[in-house]
Each structure stands twice: as structure tokens, then as C-alpha cells.
A = this chain, B = another copy of it.
Amino acid sequence: MRLAVIGGVAAGLSAASRARRLDRSLEILVLEKGPTISYAACGLPYYIEGRVDSTRDLIVYTPEHFRRERNIEVRTGAEVAFIHHSRRELSLTGGERVRYDHLVIATGARPKRAGIEGADLPHVFTLHTLTDAVRLREFIRNERPRRAAVIGAGYIGIEAAEALRTQGLAVTLIESSESVLNRADRELTETLRRHLERSRIDLRLNMRISEIESGRAGDVPADLVVLSAGLMPNVEIAAEAGIQLGRTGAIEVSDRMETSLPGVYAAGDCAETTHLITGRPVYIPLGTTANKMGRIAGANAAGGRERFPGVVGTSIVRVCGLAVATTGLSAAEAKREGFDPVSARIEARDRAPYFWPAWTTVELVADRRTHRLLGGTIIGERDAAGRVNVIASALTSRMTIDDLENLDLAYAPPYAPVWDPLLVAAQQLHKLLD
């Protein structure tokens, strides 16, 4: 029996590894169209920033590692052109044919061009693959650009802007919508705008760029342009094979990661998942989710019966030294989803007074009628991941704000104040709900 996996980055390799762990005898073949596998895409901004010296430092495992340690065959430069599922066969672009019994599709995503003319000019970059990052760093070294425009203020755009600023460039961060980080939250956007300004990154909201020319992006002067206007799933070969796409445009999967073709699984940035607050399909391509989906797809392709319930939409990003973490829905998003949201935002010190406290901001959103927690935001210099993860856990188990208020959180003066900022925010929100 042979398991073929299309794609050799996060989801694909997680699937292959998990399948191997559950079935020692399965033949496993991973086909990666690019030249490298298993690279830490999230590290690319830090390679541009200079913190990561070499792209080698971003490659977690080599094909040899998989062959030797896990008995998994990995081929790079192997692009699948067509899935003939009735024959259980893949055609590669070179013409070669590869048989399979089970299939995991982990074709990932690619940066949106956002309909911008001139996106292929030599001073325009995306930051999605190792090759992209190498090209961009070489351009900076050789061409010594002075002004950069970054198009799209999602987390990659923000990280890219900061990396370019660290490299000494003047940076304009351009966002077509009215909010950053793909989160409908005016207060968050305003906080970030002010914070970016302090590092002299100029955030322009509601600005749509339709054309890039040499020396400028729209009206913004730029010797260098980074396109970070979001990702679109690589679904073409799946769609051609008759696999159902969801309304998000990504591949529709069950909670077992199975596509509409029985026995064919999809995972990672090419697939949808379920948002646990709304119960609806969402497309939120992230490395962590890709790994989790990959594990489940691999387990089930190897005969397991595991399920991935979905995500609550947790993310964290460093913005010029400040951690900004969000999970669940913002108040505006909750309203759009039919809830009656009430939110409270507090600032509190994060330690006992004699342990150099810093300020941390906590915003919580809950539904007025049911008191169900719907989302949260943490902004602070430290502990933001820990606090947003508590909210994520509370969202996953559908806690109410009352439940959150009574959580038995750790306290000692070096680590937290006696009332954790999370509890202060929960109390504040409770007052508004009564």
C-alpha cells in the first residue's frame, strides 16, 4: 500500500510522519514541487531582518533525514499536474506517473497578486518561500533601496515592514481595508498605527494600490515593494480532479480531513477548517493549524479515526517589540455573525509592584444574552501568548464570562498580580452584562 502526499512543507510532512508512526509497513512518498522541504516559512521575515543568518537555519529537515530516520521517500522538484483518482494515479509535470492507494493533498497556498499591475517587476517581492527571501535579501544588499512599500498589513506585512525598517529602509505599510491583521477592530488598528509610527513605519489604511511602477507603488515612492496581500489556496489540481471546494475557495474537508473524494485527504493552507465560534468553514492559513491538520490527515490516511474539530482563530505577532495577540471574534465580527456582543477593554499591571510590572491590555468580547465568551485581544510586552492561549482554551470549551472570572489562575508576585489582567477584564465585562 502506498500513501502519496502532495506537498513537502508543514501539513504534508506532518501527515507523512504521522502515517509512518501508525503504520510501519506503508510505503510513503512525498512529492514537493519546490527545491526544498520542511522550511520554517514563519522565519522568513527574520532572515530579512538579519536575525537569521542563512536559509539553512530555516530548514528543519532534509529529504535524507526523512529517508533515513522515518523511511519516507521525499522527492523535490516533483510537481503534480493532475490527479487521476479513478486510476489512483498522479501525473507529474515531466510526464511521469505515480500510483497511490491513499492520497493527502497538502499543496499549500500562494501570495495573492491582488490584481496589481506591475507585480512582476524586479523590485517587487513576495515573502512566501525560501527563494523569495533569498531574492529579497540579495536585492537589498545589491541595490541598496532606501524606500520600501509593503502592500497588505496582515501579520506577514507587519513583520516584513519591521524587518525592512530594521535594515534601515523608510517603510510605508499600505492596507486596502480599514483595519490591520485582518481583524475588524478599530481600536486595535489605532493602537498599532500609533505603535508603528513610533518606529517610523507609516501605516496607510483604506489605500488600494492598482499599479506598481519602477520607483513607486501607486503614489507611494518605493525602490522596493513587498506584496503581502494575503494568501490564496493552491486548489487547482484538486478542483480538476473533481474535489469539492468550499465557499472560502479552499478545499472542503470533513473533521477527519477527508475531501469529497473518499480516501483523499487534504490539509494545511490548501484546505478550509471550521471556526469553532461560528461553526462555519473558514480559511485561515497558518503553520500551526497546517501541522495539526496534517497529523490528522496522515493518521486517517493510515487507517486511523481521528478528528480535528477546528480553530478559534488565534494568532500573535510581534509589532516593533510589542506582542499583539488575538483569538475568536472581535466585537464587530461577532455582530456580523449574529451575536449581540459586549466588550470590555482594560489596562492592568502584569506583576506585583515590586517586580517591575509592565502594562498589559486585555479586551474581552462576550454575548450579552448567553454571556458566552466570543473573543479576546492581548497587547503587551510579555505574557501575551500565555494569556491569549487561556482565552483560546476558554473559547474552545465554550466558557461564559462567569466561568472565566472564576478560573483558578496561577499567582505569585514574580509572575502575575493577585488579580490577573484576564480576571480584571472578565470582571469588567461582567459588570457591563449585568
Contacts and interface: CB of A to CB of B under 8 A. Distances in A.
B288 A418 contact: yes
A52 B351 CA distance: 14
Nearest to A51: B354
Interface string A397-434: 10100010011111111111011101000000000000
A314 B408 contact: yes
Given A291-B419, A386-B385, A352 B43 contact: yes
A41 to B, nearest CB: 10
Given A42-B352, A352-B40, A410 B396 contact: no
B415 A318 contact: yes
Contacts of A81: none
Contacts of A399: 393, 396-397
Interface string A287-300: 11101100000000
Contacts of A61: none
B385 A410 contact: yes
A57 B407 contact: no
A155 B412 contact: yes
Contact of A389 (B311, B312, B409, B414): B409
Interface in A120-134: none
Given A288-B409, A410-B316, A385 B415 contact: yes
Contact of A313 (B155, B387, B408): B408
Contacts of A309: 406
Nearest to A403: B396
Contacts of A355: 46, 51
A375 to B, nearest CB: 12
A92 B403 CA distance: 38
Contacts of A422: 389
A366 to B, nearest CB: 16
A241 interface: no
A348 interface: no
Nearest to A323: B415
A314 B414 contact: no
A46 B354 contact: yes
Q: Which of A327, A403, A406, A422 has the most CB of B within 10 A?
A: A406
B316 A415 contact: yes
Interface residues of A, number: 63
A394 interface: yes
A323 B414 CA distance: 9
A308 interface: yes
A119 to B, nearest CB: 26
A392 interface: yes
Contact of A408 (B40, B287, B396): B396
A142 to B, nearest CB: 24
Nearest to A21: B431
Given A289-B408, A407-B392, A413 B315 contact: no
Interface string A41-55: 011001000011000
A352 B49 CA distance: 15
A6 interface: no
A261 interface: no
B412 A317 contact: yes
23 contacts: A42-B418, A46-B354, A51-B354, A276-B408, A287-B418, A288-B408, A292-B406, A313-B408, A316-B410, A318-B414, A323-B414, A323-B415, A383-B383, A383-B385, A383-B386, A385-B386, A385-B409, A386-B387, A388-B410, A389-B410, A390-B393, A392-B410, A397-B397
Given A315-B411, A386-B386, 14 more contacts: A43-B354, A51-B355, A52-B354, A57-B353, A289-B408, A323-B415, A327-B408, A327-B410, A385-B415, A388-B410, A392-B407, A394-B397, A397-B399, A397-B403
Interface of A: 10, 40, 42-43, 46, 51-52, 57, 155, 276, 286-289, 291-292, 308-309, 311-318, 323, 325, 327, 352-355, 383-390, 392-394, 396-397, 399, 403, 406-416, 418-420, 422
